[in-house]
Amino acid sequence: SAEEEEGKLQVVSGDRVFLRYVDPQNTFPGHSFPREAMVFVRQPTEGFVRIVETRFLRTDSGGAKPTYLPRPEEIPEVSGFAYEMPLTVEVVDPDAAKDSLSTTTVKILVGEGNSTREAILECELSSAYGEARTAPVGLANWPLYEGRFLGQAILRLGGADSPTVVAAGVDTPGGLQGGLQPPEGEEEEDESDLTVRVVNLSGSDLVVAGYEDKDRPEGNGTLLSSKGKMIADGELSITGPDYDEPVAMLYMGERVFLRVVDPDRDLSSKRDKVDLKIETKFGEKETVSLEETFTHSGVFTGSFRLQPAEKPVQGNLDGNLSIESFFGDLLSATYHDPAANSEEGFVDYAAEATVSIGADGLVSSFSKIFADEELAVRTQFHVAESYFELFKSHLKLGRDKEAAEDLENGRLHLRQLVEDYPDPKYAPRVNYLLGQFSQELKEWDKAIEAYETIVRNFPEHSLAADAQYKLAQAYEEAKRFDDALEAYVTLASTYPKSPLIANAMIRISEYFYKREVFDIAAQVGIKFVERFDSHKWSPKMAFRVGQCHYKSEKYMDAALAFDDFVKRFPDAELCSEALFWGGESYRMGKKIPLAFQRYNRCRWDFPESDAAKYSRGRLALPEMLTQFEKEANLEDE
């Protein structure tokens, strides 16, 4: 008590209260020994908040080392944090640490001006990525003593319209301190273990962490803040036509494909651009621009034709986007990353490739020149699709030789299309066809690679939802069931209006049912029936809900599910089965009169069914015969 009262201990703010117990018998130290504990009397303290500076440092071996920087003596006005690591916020406020379960909340503001978004980050007491400053040496729970809280949030490239809840992937960081909270009025979804909340930001966004320190020594609360900006290392590659694997050899007359991956150069809601410098040993010097594959991808690509010229002219990049070079030349590309995880704060990345001394010739029986590029591309796609249909037909007929020729011709047309028309907008359809070829050949890894290219680089394309579903199918065929589940969940969360959602929900329910996770399988089934009540698989999914409850021994839930099935689908083939299993559920739940009614209805309404035969067998049980006598006595009365 603050005042002197009988039976109460008088204390003032800042006091320490020591509790001591003399332990007369013990194993250590073996003689009478005082055991002591201490608690503080809470007093207002000055709080502190900062965005922890992080770096994702590349190693010489090609790996990366996540690094959390210690608190500096002077906090910078704007801290830098690595995009590849979780956003980490530290709060130090001793008067907020009342016990080991105490938490604080920090408001995260992202963006500037009218585009500002906010999120609420919960911070918990933690010793992670820090060390004691004022606590006694050796104190185990020093975060409680010092009031040190930590909160972390996963980062994703995005803007105001980007989803804040995404599917949890295999690469999603685990074991985060604290976490993002749902907006006010929104409840966490049941499938929260399959999804994760993220902070969407771009390279131009300023992140402000605000903490309201309500109790301070001067008696008035205040809002403390810390500012930060994203830092990400770039990556430059000279690749093949699919912008995937790096290449070391280029060929005159063909195209050089360049790719830059740099998340913090995603600056706007449009497709941004980055500049590269291209130089050759023979004297060519040009500055070229690469365009982002799609908004908020952080991946920039572009291609340029190698034009033969023994004496290149610098700075003459024309509308044909040609780089002048010659056989045996050495081409170098340089990318200046203005914000990187280095001491200087910037890095110049370089990539080289040699121009081959020779080039392969190609003889065609005929060719056709199209004045309209769209018509040319459409024709090439039709030819490739025709080869695909021939391939399937020959494969079905067992004519493997012709099928192999169709496959090679189809792939050749697609490769030629990519070389002649390297615009990224054609890539989704090319990869979709390549994925279909690979699926028919049961080359699951190649199919996965093709479909992943679409969903990763072109998520807004019209084929993206189909590619996501086929990706999940390929994972299933490859026996990678966990990856398949993740792909189905991603389809449901990313493309909620896709007609394939029903198929995805069926596969998700089947996944959990086979692994005997009946609760989740039932939840998925219930949502399926609510959303797709007229779907052809709705009766089976509704029946599966009852099975899940029964197998998890929730007999009354199972009984209600089977009753609901009979009401919803009275003409379904499984109606007799539902009546029988409804009776089984009521019997196991000790509701004998209700079980008796279901068995009887099953044998009356579906006398020729197997379920009716089993129902008649159940009606011969002693408890059912007793119920029959009760019913008869009621009729006599």
Residue at 627 is within a domain: yes
CB distance 614 to 583 below 8 Å: no
Per-residue pLDDT at 528: 82
* pLDDT greater than 90 at residue 336: yes
Question: Average pLDDT of 592-612?
Answer: 90
Q: Kind of pairing, strands 87-92 and 148-157?
A: antiparallel
Question: Average pLDDT of 142-158?
Answer: 93
Handedness of CA 119, 125, 127, 128 (dihedral sign): negative
**457 band by pLDDT with thresholds 50, 70 and 90:** confident
Per-residue pLDDT at 561: 92
Per-residue pLDDT at 164: 87
Q: Are residues 246 and 221 in the same domain?
A: no
Q: Are residues 23 and 92 in the same domain?
A: no
The residue length of the chain stands at 637
* pLDDT greater than 70 at residue 598: yes
Question: Average pLDDT of 284-298?
Answer: 91
Residue at 260 is within a domain: yes
Q: Are residues 224 and 239 in the same domain?
A: no
Residue at 363 is within a domain: no
Per-residue pLDDT at 291: 93
**109 band by pLDDT with thresholds 50, 70 and 90:** very high
Per the prediction, the chain carries an average pLDDT of 84
Per-residue pLDDT at 201: 92
Q: Are residues 381 and 344 in the same domain?
A: no
Number of compact structural domains in the chain? 4
| Owning domain of residue 9 | 1-34
529-575 pLDDT, tens per residue? 887 778 888 889 899 999 999 998 999 999 999 999 999 888 888 89
Domain boundary among 175, 203, 230: 230
3-state secondary structure of 406: helix
Residue at 269 is within a domain: yes
Q: Are residues 435 and 464 in the same domain?
A: yes
**Low-confidence winner among 160-169, 202-211, 227-236 (lowest mean pLDDT):** 160-169
Q: Which long-range contacts (CB under 8 A, 24 or more apart) does 313-320 make?
A: 314/283, 314/284, 314/285, 314/286, 315/285, 315/286, 316/286, 317/286, 317/287, 317/288
Q: Are residues 171 and 226 in the same domain?
A: yes
414-434 pLDDT, tens per residue? 677 666 666 667 677 777 877
Residue at 560 is within a domain: yes
Q: Are residues 131 and 107 in the same domain?
A: yes
* pLDDT greater than 60 at residue 637: no
2-21 pLDDT, tens per residue? 778 888 887 777 777 788 89
Per-residue pLDDT at 199: 93
CA 24 to each of CA 27, 33, 564: distance values in angstroms, whole numbers, following the listed order: 10, 6, 67
Q: Which two structure tokens, joined as six digits, stand for 38? A: 């201490």
Q: Are residues 79 and 165 in the same domain?
A: yes
Per-residue pLDDT at 365: 41
Residue at 365 is within a domain: no
Per-residue pLDDT at 288: 92
Q: Are residues 221 and 274 in the same domain?
A: no
Domain boundary among 291, 322, 355: 355
* pLDDT greater than 60 at residue 483: yes
212-228 pLDDT, tens per residue? 998 888 877 789 999 99
Residue at 345 is within a domain: yes
Q: Are residues 328 and 421 in the same domain?
A: no
Torsion angle defined by CA atoms of residues 496, 440, 411 and 479, in that order, rounded to the nearest 10 degrees: 70
Residue at 366 is within a domain: no
CATH code: domain of residue 450: 1.25.40.10
**Low-confidence winner among 168-172, 436-440, 474-478, 570-574 (lowest mean pLDDT):** 168-172
Question: Average pLDDT of 124-148?
Answer: 89
CATH code: domain of residue 278: 2.60.40
Per-residue pLDDT at 524: 84
